Structure 1
């Protein structure tokens, strides 16, 4: 292990493994991990799981992290599904957004695809981690659903809640939450690889 301390209390730790890994921290206590090389999805997910555990984040039960992205009329979605700290599913894709909802459309689809995944696996309770307030607001009916798509989403989430207990957890976008960042990158990758763009 190599440790380099820079001025102002900021530092990084480099760990030599099959995939060189650097842990960055600053005086505010913010930390992030950077894995070099090209670990496969399983190896990367395991490293992130260890990182979250190291940071004191214990994800008991089933946790879903969602995000969306857009370019022009095309939106993408991504969901990372964790069970007891291990990734059990990663879902992503793209579609043409006729409603003009941009990345919000992708985030809605991410929630819908993730809960469908959980229902197929007979999962009965989840925590959905989201950064766009409308996802919870429309589902829990404290935001007014005004467009056909948000009305449809609210109705679908109401139906799903009869079979699946959902707890909503707000996360700050781009704040270093590893699984949220993973969902963000998956959504962006889905958009880059999308044949509709």
Structure 2
């Protein structure tokens, strides 16, 4: 079955009929955003649909504001966990991921990765001298532990809440929930980065 390759951000954004054509537009292009679809209509929606509003709003960020999409992953057989983070700042898109060895946090599975991703994004924003960060996440605890709506009853959640409380004076932190695995471009990208760190899906 033929596929359609939609390049949202690349050398020449558009819809391509082969993977090789798509590769020419994204290879070596930092922050490239692309995806394959079964129908041309889906590919067109990816480029021109709802997500484009997000791109527009990201492009209109103030100089000292940034947006991060974070997600976590877990590898059951090794106990390793990871995060993926897509960070928008100063007109740039940076992608990060990191895996962590089995530890006491492994009992929380991918949630440990999500928390680590949120912490990383906030630290990175402070390092970049940002005044404000908006974190898009798909696990409610990322926001609810941070703002005290959920009780922190273990070391992971307590240390996360402590980190948020201590860093709040340095940066304005906002949280936005997205539906997990709902074809949200950047949430999916963060998810893929987290899995990539663990060698999942290769």
| TM-score grouping bracket, smaller chain normalisation | 0.7 to 0.9
Going from structure 1 to structure 2, the CA distance change for 1:116 and 1:108 (only over 3 Å counts) comes to same
Unaligned runs of 5+ in 1: 1-11, 24-34
Matches within 5 A, 1:128-167: 128-167=135-174
Partner of 1:86: 92
Matches within 5 A, 1:105-116: 105-116=112-123
Partner of 1:186: 193
Unaligned runs of 5+ in 2: 36-45
Going from structure 1 to structure 2, the CA distance change for 1:65 and 1:51 (only over 3 Å counts) comes to farther
Going from structure 1 to structure 2, the CA distance change for 1:124 and 1:51 (only over 3 Å counts) comes to farther
Partner of 2:32: 45
Structure 2 residue aligned with 1:55, among 39, 52, 66? 52
Number of aligned pairs? 171
Q: Is structure 2 residue 69 aligned with structure 1 residue 65?
A: yes
Q: How much does 1:37 deviate?
A: 3.3
Secondary structure, aligned partner of 1:128:
strand
Going from structure 1 to structure 2, the CA distance change for 1:145 and 1:117 (only over 3 Å counts) comes to same
Aligned equivalents of 1:182 and 1:75: distance in 2? 17
- 1:21-80 deviations in Å (ceiling 9; x for gaps): 369xxxxxxxxxxx9437336355366997678732222341100000001211011111
Going from structure 1 to structure 2, the CA distance change for 1:126 and 1:94 (only over 3 Å counts) comes to same
| TM-score between the two structures when normalised by the length of structure 1 | 0.74
Q: How much does 1:90 deviate?
A: 1.7
Aligned equivalents of 1:174 and 1:161: distance in 2? 30
Secondary structure, aligned partner of 1:192:
coil
Q: How much does 1:175 deviate?
A: 1.3
- 1:160-184 deviations in Å (ceiling 9; x for gaps): 1110101110101111211111101
Q: How much does 1:13 deviate?
A: 6.8
Q: How much does 1:84 deviate?
A: 5.9
